[in-house]
Amino acid sequence: MATASNQLPQTGFVRIWQIVGNKKTNTPGLIPISRTSFLNGVKSGKYPKPVKLGERTTAWRVSDIRALIEQMGA
C-alpha cells in the first residue's frame, strides 16, 4: 500500500493540486484538506511557504511537503 509521501518525487516541486487534489479532474490529494484551508494555513504559518517559479507558477518544495506529512502523522 502506497503512503502519501511515497507518491511524491524524490526532489523538486509540487503544485497545489498535487497536494490537496482536484475535484474537477478527480485527482486525489496527498493531504485531505480543501484548497482554501491549505492556503489559509500557509498564510498563518501552519503550512510551508510556496516558491514562485514564474510569473504565474507557484509550487512547494517536496522536502517541505514530506516534512508536513510526517508531522501530521506524528
Residue 1, pLDDT score: 41
Residue ranges with strand state E in the chain:
13-14, 51-54, 57-61
State pLDDT tens for residues 36-46.
Answer: 999 999 999 99
Domain ranges of the chain: 11-73
pTM, rounded to two decimals: 0.84
Residue 3, pLDDT score: 54
- Within 8 A by CB and 6+ apart from 62, the residues are 8, 9, 10, 11, 12, 13, 14
Query: Do residues 16 and 58 touch, judged by C-beta distance below 8 A?
Result: yes
Residue 5, pLDDT score: 54
Residues of the chain with pLDDT under 70: 1-6, 74
Residue 7, pLDDT score: 75
